[in-house]
Structure 1
Amino acid sequence: MSETALRDLNTVPSSDRKTESSSKGSFTKPYVGSAIENVDVSLVSTKINGNDAMNAAVEIVNSEFEYVESENLSDVEDVDTSIKTLLVGLDSKDWVLVCEALNNVRRLSIFHKESVLNMLGDVIPLVVKSLKNPRSTVCKTAIMTSADIFNAYNDHIIDSLDPLLTQLLLKSSQDKRFVCEAAERALIAMTTWVSPVLLLPKLQLYLKNRSPRIRAKASMCFCRSVPRLGVEGIKTYGIDKLIQIAASQLSDQLPESREAARILLLELQTVFKKSHDLTPTELTPTTVSEDPEMDSWEHFCHSKLSPLSAQAVLRVTNIAREGLVIGS
């Protein structure tokens, strides 16, 4: 930059200089604007003449910010160096370094997961910190990192799951579509890779959240997790407990909650029938009832729910059953 250009640049108002200095002088650091998400903005240097100095200093070039899917990530070049610098990078004030560190967490989780296992207690809180970052690029990268952590470490993350789950439910409930969709994929990864026995009690707490959006996302996660218990697992967990949870969601504000409840109730009805529709050779004195009606789905619902809730549950499950009969 010429001396004339430097003198002209010094005439820029202090507020403008403050904005430029926040990029720490980097001409390659991407910036995601508030108007266009998922876009990079880079300052570029050009030949400066006289009054063009200020315009050149703030010239921007739009380019797409690349979010690398898990299957396309490459291995780290140096495992030891990546691990040594991981926590520092995650806690950096430079958002570009944070994103690089987050992607290194992803790479290490995929290619060298044992090397990070003992660090999860330190890594996850810093991932949560990035999930709270107002910069969408950092936030989405942290969401993608969360999904890879679920995939790699399964139940090992359960002790650190609560703040991670809170943020993912929040992000999946917001209006920024590309952040919301990424968070939903991370929640699907969570319900896929974390044991339902450990996950369901944590999800249950969010089914009574004040936010209807968070309740809806939690209901969908709960609905996805229950079938992974299997028939015996559902019976052990308690069909009566699960039917009460599902019934409470039937009258929730958002249709996502109600639909998740309907799906869950049909699953519970199927499990109930499998438990009671036994062949004669499978019957034991403890499974024989003098009154068949006492073993019916209808009686079970009325015995475990309030009259209004039982009616709502039976209406949902009977309509679904009638639809299957007509369809067949």
Structure 2
Amino acid sequence: MEKSNFVDQIRIFCRSGHGGPGKRHFMRNKLTALGGPDGGDGGRGAHIILKGNRNLWTLLHLRYYKNVLAEDGEGGGDNNKTGRFGKDIVIEVPLGTIARDEETGAQEVEILNDGQEVIWMPGGKGGLGNSNFATSTNQAPEYAQPGLPGLEGWKVLELKVLADVGLVGFPNAGKSTLLSVITAAKPKIADYAFTTITPNLGMVEYRDGKSFCIADLPGIIEGAAEGKGLGHRFLRHIERNSILLFLIPADSNDHRKEFDILVSELEQYNAELLHKQFVIAISKSDMLDDELTAAIKKELPEDIPHLFISSVTNKGLTELKDMLWKVLNTPVDPE
């Protein structure tokens, strides 16, 4: 079985560094037999930092990175010397990565911009040395603080593809073929279900040097919202797209029913997806005559832009680019 280089979710154990302990020490040298407290503070434990990198498109490089253990801070020294800080660990991730706590499911970090750095798991604070506790009534404190512990736990890194347009449809609706024609992407194409099991991204060259990003996403089946088929793994990527382009093949038995099933699966997964902008394209329309085209038009929702295309004959592809560009650049009225 072919192994995919696209990894969109990984589970790792993380522990940030513990803070170094403060030093309990009193000044002693040949000139000073009983000097005051001079114990230094402990160093901070190392942070675990997430950093966005636009040149990454998968979490593959972290697949075998199962344990992320950051360095502890160094203990405080004599003569009020602060211990060395632990060396921070920087984990580079693709744009669109979300970090969650596995136990609670709570989202902790979201990386959307190139070069964006977020302290995901802060290191423990170093303890104070005994010199910090000297007072007029206690000039020789015999205690210092221990460092604070770092954070630890099982974490999940999740990638949601960033694209302007997401292709939505049942398996074999023609999404991969369309992407291969209107972009430079070369997705795997075959006439069996789930040829696409990972998202493929492509840039659509528009007029005057303009472009937009389109994603061929794995096909939906009924029950996807319940995790059937590729289920949640697919639907997660749809959340990032500005436009959802519903691709329905001309040879479908019931075009409206197919559209309604797709919308229903999106709603069950996340009702907010219904607030995105929808466009419908009837693929493989080179096999239609005028009478069949008119019949299909009557089935489609009147309030959603639609058009008939063929990736084989290039029918309607220029009009599709125009429509997508127009929708992308039309402000949405707040409701």
Flag the structure with larger Rg.
2
Please state which structure has a larger fraction of its residues in helix. Answer: 1
TM-score range with shorter-chain normalisation? under 0.3
